[in-house]
Homo-oligomer: A and B are copies of this chain.
Amino acid sequence: MTRRNDPIEALIELMARLPGLGPRSARRAVLYLIRKRAQLLQPLADAMQEVARSARECLNCGNVGTTEICEICEDTRRANGLLCVVEDVADLWAMERSGVFKGRYHVLGGTLSALEGVGPDDLRIPGLIHRLETEEITEVILALNATIDGQTTAHYIADQIGARVALSSLAQGVPIGGELDYLDDGTISAALNARKRF
């Protein structure tokens, strides 16, 4: 290759490390960026610089933002006693996009995993217990992923805090717009077990 050690090659190698991009799509993206230098490459470089400078995790809930305590934790209208526990910030954002939940969040930062050596102290579980002791929380909603690790983590948390506060978890069943033919057996079985009177 003639392009080793040049800035374009360096950018391609960094871009290829992003989730969802491989070497091939990183090359395409970099060529696109070079073509759109003024409209996209320069703004993107500036935006990354700004996020690298200002992004931080909320000291209270683990959400990502630009302040020590995030906007959601600061919002007194959201201090309604409901605390939604999620695995990571992407899940918090997904909940926020639905626009339905008006309480606060607690971001664990992952799930318990014996295989990967992730224990309770590697997650924000001590922080969660501390919040139950200091904030006025009436219900904890466990919105963890319906995976084995997610459900293991939910059960562990329930064991730890179930005696102090009302606990709930998201309903499982057929997704809206979902076609039975495309659903896995586990979902169909969960939807059947949790069937409701029509």
Chain A: residues with CB nearer than 8 A to chain B? 1-3, 6-8, 10-11, 14-15, 17-21, 25, 27-34, 37, 40-45, 47-52, 54-55, 64-66, 71-72, 75, 88-90, 93, 96-97
Contacts and interface: CB of A to CB of B under 8 A. Distances in A.
Contact of A14 (B19, B40, B55, B71): B40
Task: Kindly report how many copies of this chain are found in the complex they form together.
Answer: 2
A8 B55 contact: yes
A23 to B, nearest CB: 10
A6 B45 contact: no
Nearest to A57: B34
Contacts of A97: 1
Contacts of A44: 11, 14-15, 48
A90 to B, nearest CB: 6
Contacts of A90: 27-28, 31
Contact of A41 (B34, B40, B52, B88): B52
B14 A47 contact: yes
Contacts of A15: 44
A62 B83 CA distance: 57
A2 B72 contact: yes
Given A48-B44, A55-B34, A19 B8 contact: no
B55 A49 contact: no
B41 A7 contact: no
A178 B25 CA distance: 22
Contact of A33 (B1, B32, B33, B48): B48
Interchain residue pairs A-B with the least CB separation, the first 3 = A45-B48, A20-B25, A11-B47
Given A11-B48, A45-B52, 5 more contacts: A2-B72, A8-B65, A10-B50, A45-B48, A45-B49
Contacts of A54: 7
